[in-house]
Structure 1
Amino acid sequence: MTYTVNCSILLTELPLLERPAAAKAAGFDAVEFWWPFETSVPTDAQVTGFENAIKDAGVQLTGLNFNAGNMPGGDRGLVSWPARSPEFQDNIDVVAGIGERLGCKAFNALYGNRIDGESAEKQNALGAENLAAAAAGVARIGGTVLLEPVSGAPRYPLLTAVDALNVIARVKAESGAENVKLLADFYHLAVNGDDVAAVIENHAKDFGHIQIADNPGRGAPGTGELPLGEWIARSRELGYDGYIGLEYKEPQQTAFNWAIRQRVSQ
């Protein structure tokens, strides 16, 4: 099984740039990150520092988010946010540049919350335009834009796989973009009441990425009730051959105990 450690939600006891090496020390060869900077266009020194942390750790960057705003403050993306659309557009070339230099091909574009005073129609039209622009921006490096349903954000409009797939279909119809795909986060889908097993049966071969956490609590696999192992195995059987993103909350000391037990049992 090929896992990739989300270093923006795991290993948070460590400074950000120390987390790739900690993931490597824990036995993983791949990492992914939310947007690791405060602005859409960080300084060259900031970008170099981030890239060096990945390279020096000897891990592969498998996923990177576009700037999603102030995540701790409740922001969930700039894609459909009219006032911040220019920031998203400015972010595209930066993201593609990091991806090109580090060999990363998957880029998560959080859609954004509904905004007071803006119609859903306007936001959706802008969202489709910006996703198409992002798709064109990363296409030159063979990249894929990911779109995911999210839980725990009351104003985020994409809750189910169908919600995201409808947006993806609109982007394709309006722009011809073929490289926008569903990010199937099994935790978010389950918490939002989606039929995860049915989503897998119908769309696994077309998943752009899978992320996991257990429920309740968004903890490590095995701490809750979700049949994550079964869902992953079935996704593999149906054609998904990508990484499995570990995007859960667990203290560093126990973060990967489940993986150690899995290795021992094998």
Structure 2
Amino acid sequence: MGFPDDQRFDVNLSILFTELPLLERPAAAAAAGFDAVELWWPWVEEPAPGADRLDALRGALEDAGTRLVGLNFYAGRLPGPDRGALSVPGAESDRFRANIDAAAGFARSVGCTALNALYGNRVAGVDPEVQDALALENLALAARAADRVGATLLIEALGAPESPHYPLVSAAATVEVADRVNKATGLGNAAFLMDLYHLAVNGEDLPEVIDRYAAGTGHVQIADHPGRGAPGTGGLDFPDLLGRLTKAGYEGWIGLEYKPTGPSADSFPWLSRAKGPS
């Protein structure tokens, strides 16, 4: 049993093709057969980079013929100990706010319609209610900016073992935050980012998550579990899971966010096998 024929896959260029400089990755993805990509915020020290950096990335995407379909707002150092910034009082929250217009503006310039806002770690000595209030305020700002450029605001659960201080580690908790944002703004453009790897790490019943939350899902990401490798390297039944997504009405992009074990270009045979002969 293969994957549904009409499913659309994109490549996350912040975890695949990282053996190449950033500006060479879109062309590498295109050479591997992908016309859509996504990115974590690529400049961890620059929430609001100069026009030269933005123009260079835009040019690389355009020259490769790749569409950017997902972009993270500033989230600190990824990969690394940071897991978002918007709920972290002080400098990190300020950096997130400084990034909102930069990220939204870049998204508009390349036709990207999904902006992911990672919630941020709990901070020792800070009341979680204070962090949650700050998070809602910043998420509302991000949702309004996303709405201005015709984008969806995505909110993601992460895996607790890898992100022990990140509070959104279940589908239910993450969808609840999205609902609060929609209630606060009245825009209805906040949605669940369903990362099947992170949810599997947390022990969630993935078929149940899909059946319950697919309607409110704005984007899907995949990697196998255990190991965060390509589908087929772990124990997840992706034909079943992605088939369930289609049956539940999900028609959006499915981002490949796995760690390759060798050159990224060599990590996609599973996809051609899953789809079968053309």
> TM class by shorter-chain length?
over 0.9
Shift of 1:253: 4.7
Whether contact under 8 Å (1:213, 1:248) holds in the other structure is: yes
Partner of 1:15: 21
Q: Comparing 199-208 with 180-189, which one deviates more in the overlay?
A: 199-208
Superposed CA offset, 1:38-86 (max 9, x none): 3111111111111111111101100000010012330011110111212
Secondary structure of 1:208's counterpart equals: strand
2:96 is aligned with 1:88: yes
Task: Give the C-alpha shift of residue 131 in structure 1.
Answer: 0.7
Match of 1:247 among 225, 242, 257: 257
SS of 2:180's partner is helix
Residue from 28, 41, 52 that aligns with 1:45: 52
Match status 1:193 vs 2:199: no
Cα distance between partner residues in 2 of 1:70 and 1:27: 29
Aligned-pair CA distance for 1:262: 3.3
Can you list the C-alpha shifts for 1:130-150, whole angstroms capped at 9, x where unaligned? Answer: 111000001012111100100
Q: Is the 1:96–1:141 contact (alpha carbons within 8 Å) kept by the matching residues of 2?
A: yes
Once residues 19 and 147 of structure 1 are traced to their aligned partners in structure 2, the CA distance between those partners, rounded to angstroms, is 25
Distance 1:124 1:108 in 2: 17
CA distance in 1, matches of 2:209, 2:168: 15
Q: 1 CA distance for matches of 2:276 and 2:245?
A: 24
For 1:258, give the aligned amino acid.
W
2:274 match = 262
The residue aligned with 1:35 is 41
| Cα RMSD, aligned residues only | 1.2
Matched residue type, 1:74? P
CA distance in 2 between counterparts of 1:101 and 1:217 reads: 36
* 2:80 aligned partner, one-letter code: G
Match of 1:72 in 2: 79
Identity of matched residues, %: 50
5+ residue gaps, structure 1, are none
Instruction: State how far apart, in whole Å, the 2-side matches of 1:97 and 1:104 are.
Output: 10
1: distance between equivalents of 2:77 and 2:63?
Answer: 28
Judge conservation of contact 2:32–2:265 (CA < 8 Å) in 1: no
| 1:220-251 Cα distance to aligned partner (Å, 9 max, x none) | 01111101221111111111100110000002
Bigger relative CO (Cα 8 Å, ≥ 6 apart): 2
- Residues in 2 aligned to 1:74 and 1:228: alpha-carbon distance in whole angstroms: 29
State the secondary structure of the residue aligned to 2:105.
helix
- Letter matched to residue 220 of structure 2: I
Report the residue type matching 2:23 in the other structure: L
Tell me if the contact between 1:20 and 1:59 (Cα under 8 Å) persists in the aligned partners: yes
Shift of 1:173: 2.5
Q: Judge conservation of contact 1:10–1:255 (CA < 8 Å) in 2.
A: no
What is the CA distance between 1:260 and its match in structure 2? 3.0
The aligned amino acid for 1:51 is R
Distance in 2 of aligned mates of 1:264 and 1:233: 15
Q: Distance in 1 between matches of 2:124 and 2:216?
A: 34
What is the TM-score normalised by the length of structure 1?
0.97
Structure 2 unaligned residues grouped into runs of 5+: 1-6
2:116 is equivalent to residue 104 of structure 1:
no
3-state SS of 1:40 partner: coil
> Are the aligned partners of 2:73 and 2:115 in contact in 1 as well (CA < 8 Å)?
yes
2:155 to 147, 168, 183: 147
CA–CA separation in structure 2 for the residues paired with 1:187 and 1:148: 12
Shift of 1:263: 4.7
